Structure 1
Amino acid sequence: MTLRGEGVENEGGWAWECDPSRLWVLGDMPAEQQELVAGVMEGLVDLASMAIDPKDGSLYEDPSPMRLRTYEDEHLMLWYQTIPHRRRVYLKRVNL
């Protein structure tokens, strides 16, 4: 898998960004862990570009489309926000 990186759009014009800043969200996290976060975020961007939420299904039927969402697996938990009109997924917080 080739990582696109923060702010790099996919074919549909979607990208992810740290909000309010990369330093605020990721701080001094080791590069290996930042790559893990980037991989998850790129997957969330690809799903958002297809109007899919990994937990709740279709983003078209979401009564609160701009709410704060969570994603977790055995390695991390992160909070993010999907903003369809900007074609962005904003990373708000990460717990490892």
Structure 2
Amino acid sequence: MTGRGEAVENEQGWAWECDPSRIWVLGEMADEHQALVSGVMDGLVDLASMGIDPKTGSLYEDPAPMRLRTYEDERLMVWYQTIRHRHRVYLKRVNL
């Protein structure tokens, strides 16, 4: 996982974006928390570019591919949507 940030594509042309906007999703979140979110999203983009869902395995066998997904660890929970034809992962919400 590398630190790319919002809208910066990886080698496969995938990127993540806040939806509907960065202000709406991240608001006035502290810089260290935004860096944490950015790192998690970069990782989710890398997995999506390989067709991997962190919970279920393959994105290609998902019966509802554009559904709202969640990812959580001991630090945060994010809600996101993977849109394969756009090569984008859209961040919808973050809970710290």
TM over 0.5: yes
SS class of match (1:65): coil
Which residue identity is paired with 1:11? E
CA shift at 1:3, angstroms?
1.3
Q: Which deviations, in whole Å up to 9, do the C-alpha atoms of 1:43-75 show, x marking residues without a partner?
A: 000000000000010001000000000000000
Secondary structure of the corresponding residue to residue 23 of structure 2 = helix
Q: What SS is found at the alignment partner of 1:16?
A: strand
> Quick check: 2:69–2:80 contact (8 Å CA) kept in 1?
yes
Task: Tell me if 1:72 matches 2:72.
Answer: yes
Q: For this pair of structures, how many residues does the alignment match?
A: 96
Which portions of structure 1, spanning 4 or more consecutive aligned residues, are displaced by more than 3 angstroms? none
5+ residue gaps, structure 2: none
If the length of structure 1 is used for normalisation, what is the TM-score?
0.98
Aligned AA for 1:61?
A: E
Q: What is the 5 A alignment of 1:1-96?
A: 2-96=2-96
The letter of the residue matching 1:85 is H
State the alpha-carbon separation in 2 of the partners of residues 41 and 8 from structure 1.
11
Structure 1 residues 49 and 2: CA distance shift in structure 2, 3 A: closer
**Separation in 2, partners of 1:28, 1:82:** 25
Deviation at 1:2, TM superposition (A): 4.5
TM-score by structure 2 length? 0.98
Q: Deviations over 1:16-45 (max 9, x none)?
A: 000000000000000000000000000000
Uncovered stretches (5+) of structure 1, i.e. residues with no partner: none
Counterpart Cα distance in 2 of 1:46 and 1:30 = 24
